[in-house]
Amino acid sequence: MSFSLMATQLNGSALAAAWLLTVYAISLQSMVIRRVRANERDAAVAWVLGGALVVGTGIWAASFLSLVALRLPIKIGYVQDVVLASWLPAVVIAAAAIWMQTHHQLATRARILGVLLVAVGVLMLIFVNASSVMLQPAMIWDGSATLGAALVLLLGCFLGSLLMDSDLERDPHQARHLGIAVLVGSIIWAGMSVQVQGIGVALNAVCLSADQLSGDSLEFVLTATVLILLVMAHMGTLQDARSVARNQVLSESLKAAQTALEEASHRDGATGLPNRLGFEQQLRHIIDTPSDVALNLNVLRLNIDGFHAFMATYGHGVGDGLIHTLALRLQGLVREGDVVARSDTDEFLLACRGLPDEHTAAVLAQRLQDAVHEPCLVQDQEIIVSCSIGISSYPDSATPEQLISHSNDAMLTARRAGGGVYCFFERGMDRIGASQVEMQRDLRHAVARNELVLHFQPKLRATTGELAGVEALLRWQHPTRGMVSPAEFIPVAERFGLIGELGQWVIEEACRHLRLWHDLGLDIPVAVNLSVHQLRQPDLEQRVREALLRHRVPARMLIMEITESVAMEDIEASLRVFDMLDQIGVRLSIDDFGTGYSSLSYLRRLPARQLKIDRSFVRDLDSSLDAQAIVEAVVRLAHALGLKVVAEGVETQDQADILAQLHCDELQGFLFARPMSEHTLMNWLGQRGNPSPLSSATGAQVAPAEEDVREAHDRATAWSDIEAGGLPGHA
C-alpha cells in the first residue's frame, strides 16, 4: 500500500536546542561519574541517583525536542501523559550508563551490553515520544532511517563509553572533556535526528491530540527548564569537586601533621636523635625482624657522670652544646644500622648489633668511654667529662623492656662504682653490695698504683720431688684492706669489665719473671690462670705472643690454666683459642678438673698438656676410698690421653704418698709450699738446694724420669734459640 505523505520540515532552533541539551547531558554525565568515583559510599550513591535524574532528563528533553523539531502542515499536539511517562525510562537508562561507567576497567562484554542498552533506550525514547502524537492514520516509520539511526546511536554510545573511560582515567582537562562531550553528544543527537527524519505522515492524516501539549512556547519552556536543571547540576559537580579537593588537602595535611607529631614524640628535639620511646620502637623492630642468623644485640646505656652539677655550674647552653658534641661522637663510633638515642638529659642509649661476645662489647664500651672523655670545646670552654656505661645483652635480656631496664641496672652499678667505668648486667645486680662497688673502684687503679703482685706456688714432680714449675697467683695489696684474695676480687674484675687488663698484666709479669729467672740461671716454667673473659678476647694469641717477644721468653715456658667448667662452657670457642695458643707453643692445662662435666670426646680434642685434679678430691684421699678410685681413674684417663696429671691442694704427707702411688705426675699444695712472693720463692729455692721434700719424707732417692730429662733439654734448646734471635714459639 502506498500513501501520499505530507511534506515535513525540521525546525532549526528546536534541533539546536536538542543538540545543546544532548551535548550538555553527555558532558554532565562524565562530570557526575568523576563525583561518584571521588566520593565515599553514601555520597557516591547520591551522585549516581542525582546524576541519573539530571542526565536522564537532559536526554529525555533532547529526544523530545528532536521530535518537536519535526514540523507538519497540520497542527499537532502531544499527549502529556505519554511524554511524561517516557521520562522515567530515560532516567533509568542514564542511571545504568552512569553506574556502568563508574566501574574502572569494564569487561568488554559488559561494555557492549551497556552500549546496546543505552542506544536501544534512546531509540525507544523517540518511538514512545512519537506515539504521544495521535495521528489518524498513524505515522509511518522509514525502516532504513531507523536502522541508520540505530547504527549512529550505537556508534555514539560505544565511542562515548570508550572516550569517557580514558578521559576519566586522567586528570580533569576542560578542552578534552568538552571535545568528547561535543563529539559524542553530536553523534547521539544526529542519531535521534535521523530517526525523526524517517517519520512519514499521510497526506490525509488528522491529529487527534492536537488540543494537547503544543504551541511554540513548549520548545522554549522545555529547553529553558532543562538547561537550568543541567546548569544547577553542573554547579553542584563543581562545588563538590572543590569541597572534595579541599577535604583531601585537609586530610593529607592532617595526616602529615599526625606523622610529624608522632615522629616528634619519638625524637629528641635538641639532638635530633630518637628519644627513649623512639629507641624502644626501633629496638622492638630489630628484635621482631625475622632473620636466618642468630641476633647479636647489646644495649649500652651511657650516663654522663655528674652532668646535673655540671649544668648548674656552666649553664644550659654549654650543657646542650656538650650533649650535641657527644651525640656526634657516639654516632661516629657505631655501625650502620645501630641505634643511638638520647633517652634523658644526661643519658644516651645505644643498640649495637654484631658484637659476638662480651669482650667485643667491652671493647666498644671502652671506645665510647674514651670518646666521651676526649676534651670538648663548647662556647670557648674546654670541657672534659666521663661516663658510666651499663650493658645488657640479647637474648639474656629478651625483651626491649628488659634490655633497657637491665642496662639501667648495670649503669647504676657502674655509677655507684664512682663512674667512668662500664659494667655488664648480671642477675641480682641491684643487690650487689656497696663493698663490691667500692672494691671495683679501687681495683681500677690497682695496676697503676702498683698494688698488684704475683705470688708463686711451686709444683713438684711426684717421683723425684724436683721443682716442675710454679703457678702464678695474683695478689692485691690493698692500702687499707690488706691482702685481698683473688677469689674475692677476680669475680669483681670480671663483672666490671676489668679482668682483661688484669689478665694482661699477669701475662706480662709472668713473662718478665721468666726472663728474670732465666738470666739468674733458673729455668722454672710458670703457669698463669686465664679467665673466661680472656678466653674470649679475639686478640689473646697476639697479646701472648707479644708479651713473649717483649721479654724474649720461649713459649714452652708458659703454661695457661683454664678452669674445666670454663673450658667446657663454650667448647668451640675453647677449641679455637686452645689451638691458637698451642700453635705458638704455649702449653695448656685444665684446672680444677672434676668440678666441670667434661665430655671425654671434647677432652680428647683439646690440645691440653696437663690436667689439674681439683683440691676437693685430694682433700678426701686419705679418708675415702671413693676419692682414691676417682683419682686413679682420672690419672689413667689423663695418661691415656697423653696428659700429665697435677694434684692441687696437697696438704698432708698421706695425700702425697697416695698420689705418688696412683702415678700422679706433679703435686702442688701447702704441704710443700704456700703461694709466696718472688723474694720468698728465691729464698725457698736457695734453702732447699735440690733436695726433694718427697724423698726427705719417704727416704727414697728417685732418679729423674727420662721424659723429664728430655723436657729439660728441650727447654734449654728453646732458650738458646731465643738468645740466638729466634721466635718464642716452636722452633
Contact set with ligand C2E (CB under 6 A): 457, 473-474, 485-487, 490, 503, 506, 528-529, 531, 561, 591-592, 615, 648-651, 668-670, 675
| Sequential DSSP letters for 649-680 | ---SHHHHHHHHHTT-SEE-STTT---B-HHH
**Which of 26-34, 120-128, 226-234, 558-566 is the region at the interface with Mg ion (rule: CB under 5 A)?**
558-566
3 binds, among Mg ion, ligand C2E, none (CB under 5 to 8 A by kind): none
- Residue 713 CB, nearest distance to ligand C2E (Å)? 29
Single residue of 591, 603, 610, 728 touching Mg ion by CB under 5 A: 591
Residue 576 CB, shortest distance to ligand C2E, in Å, is: 19
Closest CA to 532 of 573, 592, 492: 573
Task: Give CA 486 to chain center in angstroms.
Answer: 42
Distance in Å, CB of 535 to Mg ion, minimum: 14
Identify which range of 119-127, 185-193, 214-222, 589-597 contacts Mg ion by CB under 5 A.
589-597
Radius of gyration of the chain (CA): 51
Q: In angstroms, what is the minimal distance from the CB of 533 to Mg ion? A: 16
Q: Which is nearer to ligand C2E, 423 or 528 (CB)?
A: 528
Question: Judged by CB under 5 A, which stretch of 518-526, 559-567, 658-666, 721-729 contacts Mg ion?
Answer: 559-567
Cell numbers at residue 390, please? 651499663
CA 423 to chain centre: 25
Among 561, 582, 665, 666, binds Mg ion (CB under 5 A): 561
Q: Which residues pair with 391 in a beta bridge?
A: 300, 424
Give me the least distance between CB of 658 and ligand C2E, in Å please.
15
Q: What is the spatial distance between Cα 35 and Cα 46, in angstroms, rounded to a whole number?
A: 10
Grid coordinates belonging to 479: 692500702
For residue 102, the partner it binds in Mg ion, ligand C2E, none, with Cβ less than 5 to 8 A by kind, is none
Contact letters for Mg ion, residues 495-534 (x by CB under 5 A): ----------------------------------x-----
Query: Largest alpha-carbon pair distance within the chain?
Result: 163
Quick one: which segment of 80-88, 490-498, 511-519, 587-595 binds Mg ion (CB under 5 A)? 587-595
User: How many degrees, rounded to 5, is the angle at CA 626 between CA 621 and CA 631?
Assistant: 60
Q: Among residues 592, 621, 664, 667, which is the contact residue for Mg ion, using CB under 5 A?
A: 592
The owner of cell 682420672 is: 634
Helix (H) or strand (E) holding 372: helix 358-373
> 541, 540, 479, 470: which is closest to 510 by C-alpha?
470
Please identify, using beta-carbon distances, which residue of 501 and 708 lies nearer to ligand C2E: 501
Q: Closest approach of Cβ 639 to Mg ion, in Å?
A: 20
Shortest spacing between CB 665 and ligand C2E, in angstroms? 17
Question: Is the torsion defined by CA of 281, 285, 286, 288 positive or negative?
Answer: positive
Residue 669 binds which entry of ligand C2E, Mg ion, none, with Cβ cut-offs from 5 to 8 Å by kind? ligand C2E
Choose between 490 and 557: whose C-beta lies nearer to ligand C2E: 490
Judging by beta carbons within 10 Å of its beta carbon (0-12, 13-18, 19+), is residue 319 exposed, middle or buried?
buried
Nearer to ligand C2E, 338 or 648 (CB): 648
Closest distance of CB 701 from ligand C2E, Å: 25
Task: Verify binding: residue 666, Mg ion, rule CB under 5 A.
Answer: no
59-83 burial string, b = 16+ CB within 10 Å, else e?
Answer: bbbbbbbbbbbbebeeebbbbeebb
Asked whether the CA dihedral 677, 682, 684, 690 is positive or negative, the reply is positive
- Collapsed DSSP state (helix, strand, coil) of residue 217: helix
Q: Amino acid identity, residue 609? A: R
Residue 700 beta carbon to ligand C2E: minimum distance, rounded to whole angstroms? 22
| Interaction site with Mg ion (CB under 5 A) | 529, 561, 591-592, 648
